[in-house]
Amino acid sequence: MLSKPMQEALNNQVKLEAASSYAYLAMASWSDIQPGLNNVSEYFFKQSDEERIHMLKLMRFINERGGFAMVPTLGQPIVTFKGIKSMFEEFLKHEIAVSDSINDLVSLALQEKDYATHNFLQWYVSEQIEEEKNARVLNDKLEMIGEDKSGLYLFDRDIMMTRQKR
Ligand code: OFO
């Protein structure tokens, strides 16, 4: 059975995963209308779906453990970007915030001696290592490319491969 504070913290994480899904959906849509960024757009559509799965996994766990998973209210995410570079910076910033939040959940689980939740959260810990790394690698590549159009062409062409390796 989940304690009240644990349940509340997990529901906050549900909201954060939903907000991630929304944020990446906005990135997908913005990229979709930029010339030559079709694969970047596809990448974020997929990323958005993945975040929804993270949210669902949490909701099912909360209910399974005797809590009540609440569908959160969401605000509008950032929908337009100065450019591809600033969009990917937002992406990394967001993933770092999610990792911090997962870490806080893990320490709360330990504090509460809730080892079932602690065990469940390990999946998210590994997932965040992967997601943060991916976002960082993509930012590094964009940094390297700078204003080079052909570099950007290759970046878009190859971006889905960085997902397939996962
Ligand atoms: Fe849910 O993994 Fe990214 O945010």
CA of 144 to the centre of ligand 1 (A): 25
Q: With a 6 A CB cut-off, is 95 part of the ligand 1 pocket?
A: yes
CA of 49 to the centre of ligand 1 (A): 10
Distance from C-alpha of 14 to C-alpha of 94, rounded to nearest angstrom: 15
Determine the pLDDT at residue 58: 98
Distance from C-alpha of 21 to C-alpha of 26, rounded to nearest angstrom: 9
3-class SS of residue 166: coil
Atom of ligand 1 nearest to the CA of 94: 4
11-56 per-position pLDDT tens digit:
999 999 999 999 999 999 999 999 999 999 999 999 999 999 999 9
When pLDDT is averaged across residues 140-161 and rounded to a whole number, the result is 96
Q: With a 6 A CB cut-off, is 127 part of the ligand 1 pocket?
A: yes
When pLDDT is averaged across residues 85-108 and rounded to a whole number, the result is 98
For ligand 1, atom 1, which residue shows the shortest CA distance?
51
Angstrom distances, CA of residue 36 to CA of 87, 140, 155? 15, 20, 10
Determine the pLDDT at residue 163: 78
Phi-psi region of 36 (alpha: psi -120 to 50; beta: other; left: phi over 0): left
Q: What is the CATH number of the domain that holds 36?
A: 1.20.1260.10
Under a CB-based contact definition with an 8 Å cutoff, are residues 23 and 90 in contact? yes
When pLDDT is averaged across residues 81-89 and rounded to a whole number, the result is 98
98-138 per-position pLDDT tens digit:
999 999 999 999 999 999 999 999 999 999 999 999 999 99
| Structural domain boundaries, residue 67 | 4-164
> What is the number of domains present in the chain?
1
Atom of ligand 1 nearest to the CA of 17: 1
